[in-house]
Structure formats: C-alpha cells, structure tokens
Amino acid sequence: MRVLARTAYLLTTAALMSFGAVHMTSANEELMKMSSDPKNWAMPTGDYANTRYSKLNQINKDNVKNLQVKWTMSTGVLRGHEGGPLVIGDVMYIHTPFPNIVYALDLNNEGKILWKYEPKQDPNVIAIMCCDTVNRGVAYGDGKIILNQADTTVVALDAKTGKVVWSVKNGETDGSKGESGTAAPMVVKDKVIIGVSGAEFGVRGWTAAYNLKDGSLAWKAYSTGPDAETLIDPEKTTHLGKPVGPDSGINTWEGEQWKTGGGTTWGWFAYDPKLNLVYYGTGNPSTWNPVQRPGDNRWSMTLMARDADTGVAKWLYQMTPHDEWDYDGVNENILVDGMEVNGAKHDVLVHFDRNGFAYTMDRASGELLVAKKYDPTVNWATEVNMDPKSDQYGRPQVVAKYSTQQNGEDTNTTGVCPAALGTKDQQPATYSPKTGLFYVPTNHVCMDYEPYKVSYTAGQPYVGATVAMYPTPNSHGGMGNFIAWDAAKGEIVWSKPEQFSVWSGALATEGDVVFYGTLEGYIKAVDTEGKELYKFKTPSGIIGNVNTFEHRGKQYIAVLSGVGGWAGIGLAGGLLGAEGAAAWQAAVAGEKAPTEEEKSISTAGLGAVGGYAALADYTTLGGQLTVFGLPD
C-alpha cells in the first residue's frame, strides 16, 4: 500500500507540475505573442528586449509632418507623469502618479472609460518619495493588469473589470522604513518581477518575483548582504569572468552598513527567453556621503543577470564602485542579437548609465566589450580600464579633482559632470534594427557636491550631501541632447541639442521616424539623421514615454504629459519659493539646511530646483493623455 500510495503521490505531483508548466508557458506565450504584434503595446518598454521599436510604418518620415491630435484625456492628477500607456487589443490602460489611478479606455468608443481603479493609500508615502510621486507604468499578463503602488503594494487587477484579483505587500506600506514603489513591473513566464525605491532613506534594495497566479512570493534577491539573501553563488556567479567569492555583498562594506546600503531597484527590467535571464541595474549606495562608507559597496551600482525561475545571479558587473556622486545604475538594458564588436558577433546588452558611460556587454557571459562616454563633457573619470590583465579592469579611472571622497566631508567639490541626475536618468532610449543605432535622451548638466556626516534613522532622509546643479559650462545648446549612438564602436553619430534635459522615453519606428518629448511639453519627431520633422506642444512638460499602436487599420502615437520627476521637482513639489524650499531643506538636511534663501531654493530637490528654475517660464503642472494620428 505504501508503494501504491507513493506512486500515486508522485503521479499527482508530476501532473500538478505539468499543469503548472503548461499554465506558465501559455501565459508567457500569450504575452510574447501580444508584444510581437505591433498593433499592441503590451509591455511598458514594448518588448522584453527594451528596444522601444515598432514595426508600424503607416506614419513615416514623409507624412509625419501631417500628424494631428485625435483625442485627449485628463488624468485628473497633477505632478510628474512618467511611463506610458499599454494597448491590448481594443483597450488602452493608462496610469497616474500618486494616488496611482489606473484607467481602462475603450478605443472603439473615443476612449470611453471602461473602468477606473483608485487605490486607497496613506498620503504620508508622498513625503518619502525622493524625486516626485511618479509611477512608471503597469504591466499585463494572464488577463491581469499589474500595478506597483507608491506604498509598495503590488496589485493584480482583472483586465476586463478592474476588480482586484490579488494584492501583496512588497515592502513596508506605512513608510516606517522609507520604502516606496515607483518602478513598472515586468511579467516573465509565471512571475511578476518588481523592485523597490528609497535609497535616499537608507533602504536596502531588492528585486522580488511574485507568482502571477496568486501573488505568492517566488524569490527575493537583495542587492547587498550575505549570499543566501543576495542569491549569489560564490563559485558560479561571476564578475568580469571571475567567481565573486563568499559573501561578496558584505565584505566591501564596513561593519553592518550593508543593512542600510541602498542599491534600490527602481528602474527597468529586461528578459532573454533563450537564456532565461532577467537583467536590471541597482542604484546608489546609502548615504550620499562616501566618506562614511569605505569600500566598493557591492552590489550597489551594479548590472545583474539573474535566472528568472530561481533569482540566482549568473553574472554581475559593478559600474561605479564606491559611488561618490549618486550615479544610480538603474537605467534600462537594451538587448540586441548578433552585434559585431571588435570583429566578433555577440548577443549584447547595451546600458546607458547615469555616470555618463555607455556599456556594451555580452549578455550571456557578462564580458565587458565597450565602455565609452556618451557625452564628451563627462569629467569625473577619464575612462573605464579595458585591460583584463590589469587590477583596474572594468573600473572607471577617477579624477582626483572631482572625487568627493578624496576632497572629504564639508568640502564643496565643484564642476563635476554629469550632475547626480546623470547623463541620462531612467527615461528609456530606443534601438532601431534598421539603422543599428540607439537613440538616446540625455541631460547636459553639471554640479557642485558637498558631502556631510549624517546618521541613519529608519524612515528619515539619509542623504548626507548638498548638491547644486547647472547647465554644462561652455556647451553649445542647452541642458539636453537627443543623440544617436553606435554601441559597437562606442561613438556618438549625431547630437541634437535641446533647451532642457530630454526627460522622456524615445520611440523608433519602421517608418524611419524617432519620437521623443521635451520638458517644455513638445512631442517631437526626427528622422534617423536627427532632422526635426514635426513638433506639437502638449499642455504640460513631457517626462512620459512615447508609444505607438494600431487600431482599425490606423497607426497612432500616444504620450502622457505632466511635468515633474527629478528635473521638474521644483514645479511638481512647490519648491520654487522660499517657504516650500525651506520646508524641504528642513526635512532632508536638518541642521545642515542652508540658511541663505537663494541657496536654500537652488539646492532644494537634491539640487534640481536651481538647475531647472527656468522651466517654470515654459510650462506648468498638468496630467493629460494625447493621442496623435494622420488626417482621415
């Protein structure tokens, strides 16, 4: 009887596992099929490879000048509207900043609201969101819309009705630890991949995978800490081709600083179905004062490749060891097959980091192929050492003059380029397989950076630096550039200056048109050589990502406008006046808050308010979806 019972048990278990595999495969295949149909925009970045490329070509370089507004919708929310719409068949799904409303809109009926979901969240979470109350979008999978709320609650909504299917706490939802949620989820196979925000509050970052069916936790991988918690195999996980060794997430930190070490994961995820690897970057170490945290501070500022099923890391690459400038490494990773680099073909990962270097890597092995500046004014480091035999291999060569560590606490290090918000922040680039080029929204901003000693208190700001930002001196143009980049050579092909930073996600299409938005509120279309073909000013600054879709045989372009984010925090957070700035300084800097009014305002918003003060002359707060199309 025991043998029969065990046999029955094994058969039942095998059947359940088989059913689970079928369900997993079908859910994954459904999403991949949807994302491969250019009529949809089924993932936040368009596809698993994060190319943000569309095969639609009805709108092309010859007729894009005829674009006109087809319909609009107010979201009913102000502040920064990052991310963009999803389009699944005849339904568009859009989202807002806090309170993170989700709308389902009927494309067959002039955008009629099919359902609206508005979560009830503790408004105290607003105070712990470092750089505006943004949200980067929802994801779709297995008939569900997945929302990552500001309070870290992850919710699965029935795509047809908006009813809650399941809900799970990814972090502390009461703000007691400063944990928040701003990133867009990614659905991979039978899992929802999600990160966490809050390094400016000493949050110890992680990435978690929740089961798509019921929201139960599948795996959780911290950025710092012991191997069992970082899901790092000391012998098999590699860094630049070599095993990382035991407890690599601890031994470059002093004492237990890794417990408040930052490395949060609020950027974008990519996925390679053939390798079954999920790719993402980790953010800055905490605090911003590098003197207080000696060592490389692994694994902050790191690109990670993890097994989608288990979360175990295959390879890591720390781009900015011992970050001294808040150069978060969370920007998107774009996957391209068969790129020829140095005479050999590789399936690559291309990453435009905040630190001003663009990296091309073999995404299977983690081999570093190219690391070059994508803004020639980057000055904090001369280069990344590319000699595998050197003890400096893969490390940026820091210039002493711009080292806030070497200059020390309470010393103002001036003229550092780029500023803390980077040569590019999270706004995603796009890749065109037709041209083989990447089209990249960039910032052209430098800073002064003065670190000071700060103590950690759970739920309180843990910054430890005063920062002032300003346009790059002696530069031609403005505070931003939209560039074309050759990732195989590490070269800028062309650069189009903009008055302010380009803070929107870009879109390339088979019609030989590239779209992006500006902080003043323009949506712009350029050809593949950078010539401007079209522009239209929407009601507010654009920090959202331009998307495209087809409905009833016609191609449309869609974008959310609503100024904010880090660059627009002065407008969004009411920090342009003395009272608002002083309140911000008191909350973040405490006794280190500047007493002089002009300095108080200019250094508020972690330095962005002064750098982007002129933005208020060109735009104001808003929240609107605009859909463009060709004349009927």
| pLDDT tens digits, 192-212 | 999 999 999 999 999 999 999
CB 531 within 8 Å of CB 64: no
pLDDT attached to residue 26: 57
82 is in an annotated binding site: yes
Mean pLDDT across 292-296:
98
Domains and CATH numbers, the chain: 27-629 (2.140.10.10)
Is 214 part of the annotated catalytic residue set?
Answer: no
pLDDT of the residue at 13: 33
Question: For residue 478, what pLDDT is reported?
Answer: 87
Radius of gyration of the chain (CA): 23
Side chain identity at 340, as an amino acid letter? E
Ranked by mean pLDDT, which of 16-20, 476-480, 492-496 comes out on top? 492-496
Whether the bond between 451 and the residue before it is cis, its omega within 30 degrees of 0, is no
What is the model's pLDDT at position 8? 34
Candidate list 47, 151, 296, 326, residue with the active-site label: 326
What average pLDDT score do residues 556-570 get? 97
- d(CA 122, CA 371) in angstroms, rounded, equals 43
Residue 550, annotated as binding a ligand = no
Residue 240 has pLDDT above 50, yes or no: yes
Distance CA 114, CA 459 (A): 38
Residue 135 scores a pLDDT above 90 = yes
Beta strand 313-318 pairing with 238-239? parallel
The region that residue 394 occupies, defined by phi over 0 for left and psi between -120 and 50 for alpha, beta otherwise, is left
Quick one: tokens of 189? 């196979």
| pLDDT confidence of residue 497 | 95
DSSP classification of residue 477: S
In this predicted structure, the answer to whether residue 186 has a pLDDT above a threshold of 80 is yes
* pTM as predicted: 0.95
Whether 563 contacts 543, CB under 8 Å: yes
- Residues 370-402: tens digit of each pLDDT: 999 999 999 999 999 999 999 999 999 999 999
In this predicted structure, what is the pLDDT of residue 4?
A: 33
* 182 in a labelled binding site: yes
Predicted confidence (pLDDT) at residue 11 exceeds the cutoff of 60: no
What is the per-residue pLDDT for 272? Answer: 97
Q: Which tops the pLDDT comparison, 20 or 452?
A: 452
The verdict on whether residue 326 carries a ligand-binding annotation is yes
Which DSSP string do the residues of 377-425 spell out, in sequence order? T--SEEEE---TTSTTTT-EEE-GGG-HHHH-TT--EEEESS-TT-SS-
Task: Compute CA distances 134 → 94, 445, 450, whole Å.
Answer: 13, 22, 27
Proportion of the chain above pLDDT 70, given as a percent: 95
Q: How far apart are CA 608 and CA 472, in angstroms?
A: 14
* pLDDT for the residue 236: 98
Predicted pLDDT at 27: 63
At 212, list the tokens.
Answer: 């798509």
* 199 known member of a binding site: yes
Question: Of the given ranges (130-134, 144-148, 398-402), which has the lowest mean pLDDT?
Answer: 130-134
CA atoms of 517 and 215, how far apart (whole Å): 35
State the pLDDT at residue 474: 79
Contact 335, 53 (CB under 8 A): no
Residue 383 labelled as part of a binding site: no
In the block, which residue shows the tokens 């408040």? Answer: 260
Digit-coded pLDDT (tens) for 305-339: 999 999 999 999 999 999 999 999 999 999 999 99
- CA 583 – CA 626 distance, rounded (Å): 35
What is the pLDDT of the chain when averaged over all its residues? 94
Q: What are 412-461's pLDDT values in tens digits?
A: 999 999 999 999 999 999 999 999 999 999 999 999 999 999 999 999 99
Give residue 29's pLDDT: 83
**In 10 A of CB 627, how many CB atoms?**
21
Nearest to 150 by CA among 130, 166, 134: 134
* pLDDT mean over 20-27: 48
Answer whether residue 475 shows pLDDT above 80.
no
Q: Is the pLDDT of residue 3 over 50?
A: no
Residue entry with tokens 């859009």: 94
**What does the pLDDT average to over 542-570?**
97
Q: Return the structure tokens found at 139.
A: 């994801």
